[in-house]
């Protein structure tokens, strides 16, 4: 879904095709893709915590998730620099920035169910309220909270409401995999037909980084887009 949406975005941005990738159907498609992605982030946090909590004290666990979140943020800053260099729309707080921050902010909720569900719903409702009323500001420090800037961003997923989706995923993950349940500790071999999908799931961050340049190179090679004509 992510690759398909970005293909449509590339065709419009670099090829001039009239697709309306940032509105209408494709905007809803992108939101659905992001929602699935972030729900899985929450579920993965539940699995990770269920495994790690049996081996490490809380202090070490917080350091683990802090380092992981900061590492993802570091990768996100690479995208920020690349987006600035390509002049195709800033990525100041995209989905990778959101995931990095969410990993850190989700730590107090890792062992809980009902509080996590309530917090997730509240975050989504507050974020929806902000979006409905189209609050905007020239202050970039408000970007993470859904206060939109006065310029276009190619990827924008603020904490309000999207952190709430991560919390809902964590809630679901804690029901299925929490408290050291067997499913969190052991992984059965995937059926042969599903192994390519399993590989993609285990290397989703790498795929996130390389799929765009690979896809653009393919579109250029087949003459679908012409970067040098821009």
Cβ distance 11 to 227 under 8 Å?
no
C-alpha 183/C-alpha 179 separation (Å) is 10
pLDDT over 80 at 58, yes or no? no
Residue 183's pLDDT band (cuts 50, 70, 90) = low
- Average pLDDT, stretch 63-85? 93
| Coil vs helix vs strand at 7 | helix
Each residue of 76-100: b (16+ CB within 10 Å) or e? beebbeebeeeebbbbbbbbbbbbb
pLDDT, tens only, 124-171? 999 999 989 888 887 888 999 999 887 778 899 999 999 999 999 999
pTM: 0.90
């Amino acid at each position: 879904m992510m690759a398909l949406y970005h293909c449509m975005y590339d065709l419009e941005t670099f090829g001039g095709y009239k697709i309306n990738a940032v509105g209408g159907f494709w905007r809803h498609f992108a939101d659905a893709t992001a929602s699935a992605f972030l729900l899985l982030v929450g579920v993965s946090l539940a699995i990770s915590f269920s495994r790690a909590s049996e081996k490490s004290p809380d202090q070490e666990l917080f350091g683990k998730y802090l380092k992981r979140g900061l590492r993802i943020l570091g990768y996100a800053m690479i995208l920020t620099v690349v987006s600035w260099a390509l002049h195709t729309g800033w990525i100041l707080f995209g989905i990778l920035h959101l995931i990095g921050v969410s990993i850190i902010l989700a730590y107090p909720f890792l062992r809980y169910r009902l509080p996590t569900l309530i917090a997730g719903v509240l975050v989504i409702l507050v974020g929806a309220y902000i979006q409905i009323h189209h609050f905007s500001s020239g202050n970039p420090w408000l970007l993470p909270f859904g206060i939109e800037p006065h310029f276009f961003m190619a990827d924008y997923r603020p904490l309000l409401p999207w952190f709430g989706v991560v919390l809902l995923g964590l809630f679901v993950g804690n029901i299925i995999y929490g408290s050291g349940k067997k499913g969190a500790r052991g992984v059965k071999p995937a059926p042969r037909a599903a192994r390519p999908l399993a590989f993609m799931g285990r290397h989703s961050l790498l795929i996130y980084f390389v799929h765009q340049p690979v896809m653009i190179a393919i579109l250029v090679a087949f003459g679908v887009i012409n970067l040098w004509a821009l």
